[in-house]
Structure 1
Amino acid sequence: MKKIIVIATGGTIAGSGEDGRTTEYRAGTIDVSDILETIPQINNLAEIEMVPLISVDSNEMNERYWIKLRNTINEQAKRPDVDGIVITHGTDTIEETAYFLNLTIATEKPVVLTGAMRPATATSPDGPFNLFQAIALAANEKAHDCGVMCLFSSTIYSARNIAKTNNHKIDAFGLNEQAALGYMRDADVFITNHPTTKHTLHSKFCSKQFDVFPKVKMATYYAGSDTDILDALKHDCDGIVVIGTGSGNYSQAWMQKLDELAESGIVIVRSSRVPHSIVFDEQIFDPKNHFIGSNTLTPFKARILLMLCLTQTRNIEEIRNAFFRY
């Protein structure tokens, strides 16, 4: 029987509140091992070993926790008796954690993140079935070398392309113009696509040790926006992800200010506030070729990739290439 490590980090899946309600609950207050005990047939899937790591609302997740989680995954994945790893996580920032891990962990063993939209004390919570399927996915040979995955509502998502698209439905996740990796029916796994960008052991970041990260900040453009936010962000800053309109667009005043910041050494990535957007290099909004298009990455994932790139280089062309490869 396969051995699966379940790493608990908190979130709604381990949340509790008034019986039956889906709101007004506290995340990360229930032991995930208690949830496992409520799942029929779970012990027929795999031998499960719990690793409690942290217990937080996912809005408290940060780079320090990411490093701790990444190191724990690498540690557990080295064990010859371990076949796969499942992480329970809050849904609000799960896509960011998943993408960071996708770029930095050093294993081809299946790593699957899952969570819930309803707390464990709600009527018909969704967490137990998501956890059941995540464990089944991590124990399946088909899931090897697929990069970090997320499992929700019987859909297998790649860490790079998953995005939370709804804040109140169980089926709360979608994709950024990309197909899902596959789907599940109960414990059966159907992989229909494989990642085409570099991940895990194929990533240049997987062997690097991290302590602190360069500071990458974000600025959102809106109609009538002045450049004060850019002036405020430039202090103690290594990079800025601009969340523009349309294809990563902004005013002439913003373009001039961003050119100044780029010439001062701050690396600028252009992204978009539009869901399902693609941002390429653009002469109209970047005539001096100072900036980097985020490609199909969301602004939040663009920040993570830029942050990791800046641990190795400040060369614009090298970073630009990374946005196509990762």
Structure 2
Amino acid sequence: MDETNVNVNSFKAWVLASRPKTLSGAAVPVLIGIASAVCMYGRDGIRVVPAVLCMLFALVMQVDANFVNDYFDFMKGTDDETRLGPKRACAQGWITAAAMRRGLLITTLLACAVGLPLIAYGGWEMILVGLACVVFCFLYTISFSYLGLGDVLVLVFFGLVPVCITYWLVAPPTPLTSIPVPVIVLSLACGLEIDTLLVVNNYRDIDNDRRAGKKTLIVRIGPVWGRLLYFFLGFLAGGLVVYGASRMTQSWNLWQQVLIIIFYLFHYNTFLAMRRINKGAALNRVLGMTARNMLIFGVFVALCLLL
């Protein structure tokens, strides 16, 4: 969407603030959770309503997280004129601070409303899960990202929680006592792959984050180890998929091998671009390539489970 001529608090401004390109990060874990349930119980054995609700909850929470990040980074002065990443709504004046407070309140309440019916499928424990998602959505921007713990939250709330809880809710109403190990392995793979987006984002902003006192993991380990971390996360995620999917399907055929190899090629090509560009706003191209890789990863994992 064109970022010029954006009227204050307009519909266009809110669309830009929602950051549509980030929504794949919310959709992929739910997709993998659903595909895992289909693999285990068959297409006719899963529950469709909780699958839809899980996807809607994840998407609304992602928009909510984007609003929270936009508002609190603006209030802390992190999003100043030296920012190299994509433009932020409050910092650009597209949305006023007061309007953004109302916006994030509305999206938070909407996420709660969407998630509330999941109690009927997963019990009252779903309130605790939803509450944790909302609380850590705020804590990530307010505190954890400044302490270098953002990567841990990504692993938990873009991997373990959405994949495993979606699987739990979508599976047929039989007495489930635990999540199968292969599903947990796939959830870890998902969290690691999505964390590559945070790694390249923090890699690009390493100098600005240092000045702002934001001690991200990349600030702590430095750019060289940051690039290696990016490379390692993607390849480890693929390896975990091979283990988890082969355990669930009781096989590992040629098509599954081809899909993982294609993902590895995309990831390696993106790593080379990251190393070549190295610094500056041009790394936003690597950010876009990484978002594409995340979506490819989710689709390929689903296909590995369903082929």
Q: Report the TM-score range of the alignment, normalised by the length of the smaller protein.
A: under 0.3
Instruction: Flag the structure with larger Rg.
Output: 1
**When the two structures are superposed, what TM-score results if normalisation uses the length of structure 2?**
0.27
What TM-score does the superposition give when structure 1 sets the normalisation length?
A: 0.26
Structure richer in strand, relative to its length: 1
Higher fraction of helix? 2
